[in-house]
């Protein structure tokens, strides 16, 4: 049986033992959805960093820069944190360096100790589940949340993933049961639940990015598996 635990916010990541385990990091709104959508469309790789200054160093080396502060594109960057920007044809084959408020921080923390880091979003949840079934190793699902707080959309991703794995998995913490229950309660209407109850829905509405929400809330939009290789996230080939 695969042992699954869920970390609902990176603030408590130190309570989880990541050594020897696969970490699945998610930030449904919007960092990991941008990565999945961009890589699926043809982006070559994404390097996640924490600071704007780090991204600007990559920009000097020819990287496309992406991300936000306060949900808004950093002025010097090429693009912001909308999946539609990351999917544009002009970035196909390009390498992106990305920094966001929550998502790239969670990925950077996970890579310090996890055996492997997988990038998950609702967009590719089924493919992540299939890969994890094949690996048959213990998993920690890390939700980026929002500024240290848990978020509904990332918890729903955790529940969607656990739902797909539950026949082969043992849930080892209450957070995993809570995430599964939340997903089951959504009863196929994940997008509506996020739209109606998630605080991030209100923030995106204020940023005039409502279409990002409906895009990111789609389950199984694509079937790619982004994995962290050293510094860069690329699509895992079979
Ligand atoms: O752009 C986003 O959706 C958020 C920014 S904010 O925290 O809502 O201001 O960043 P992310 O790291 O992708 O959650």
For each successive 10 residues of the chain (238 residues), what is the average pLDDT? 97 96 98 98 98 98 97 96 97 98 96 97 98 97 96 98 96 98 97 96 86 96 97 93
Neighbours of 156 (CB within 10 A): 27
What's residue 209's pLDDT? Answer: 85
Atom of ligand 1 nearest to the CA of 67: 1
What's residue 207's pLDDT? Answer: 83
What's residue 210's pLDDT? Answer: 84
Q: Which domains does the chain have, with CATH numbers?
A: 2-229 (3.90.1560.10)
The backbone torsions φ and ψ at residue 170, rounded to the nearest 5 degrees and listed phi first, read -115, 125
From 9, 10, 26, 30, give the residue whose CB has the most ligand 1 atoms within 8 Å, as the site to mutate: 30
What's residue 9's pLDDT? Answer: 97
pTM for the structure as a whole: 0.97
- Residue 50 CA to ligand 1 centre (angstroms): 13
| Nearest protein Cα to ligand 1, atom 1 | 71
Q: Can you tell me whether residue 118 is helix, strand or coil? A: strand
What's residue 238's pLDDT? Answer: 74
Q: Can the peptide bond before residue 30 be classed as cis, meaning omega within 30 degrees of 0?
A: yes
Q: Can you tell me whether residue 198 is helix, strand or coil? A: coil
Chain centroid, CA 61 distance in Å: 26
Beta strand residue intervals within 85-184, DSSP E: 95-99, 116-120, 139-143, 169-171
Q: How far apart are CA 153 and CA 34, in angstroms?
A: 15
Q: How far apart are CA 40 and CA 59, in angstroms?
A: 22
What's residue 218's pLDDT? Answer: 97
Q: What is the DSSP string of 24-37?
A: EEE-TTTHHHHHHH
């Amino acid at each position: 049986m695969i042992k699954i635990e869920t970390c609902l916010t990176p603030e408590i990541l130190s309570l989880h033992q990541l050594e020897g385990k696969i970490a699945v990091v998610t930030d449904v709104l919007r960092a990991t959805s941008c990565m999945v959508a961009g890589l699926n469309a043809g982006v070559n790789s994404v390097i996640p960093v924490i600071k704007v200054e780090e991204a600007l160093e990559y920009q000097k080396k020819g990287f496309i820069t992406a991300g936000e502060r306060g949900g808004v594109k950093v002025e010097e960057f090429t693009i912001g944190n909308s999946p539609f920007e990351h999917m544009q044809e002009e970035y196909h084959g390009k390498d992106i360096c990305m920094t966001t408020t929550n998502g790239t921080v969670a990925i950077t923390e996970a890579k310090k100790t996890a055996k492997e880091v997988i990038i998950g979003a609702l967009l590719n949840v089924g493919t992540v589940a299939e890969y994890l079934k094949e690996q048959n190793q213990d998993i920690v699902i890390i939700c980026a949340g929002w500024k240290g707080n848990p978020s509904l959309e990332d918890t729903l991703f955790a529940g969607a993933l656990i739902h797909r794995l539950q026949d082969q998995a043992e849930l080892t913490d209450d957070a995993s049961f809570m995430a599964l229950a939340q997903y089951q309660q959504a009863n196929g209407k994940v997008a509506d639940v996020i739209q109606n109850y998630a605080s991030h829905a209100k923030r995106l509405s204020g940023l005039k990015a409502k279409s990002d929400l409906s895009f990111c809330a789609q389950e199984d939009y694509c079937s790619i598996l982004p994995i962290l290789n050293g510094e860069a996230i690329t699509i895992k080939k079979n």
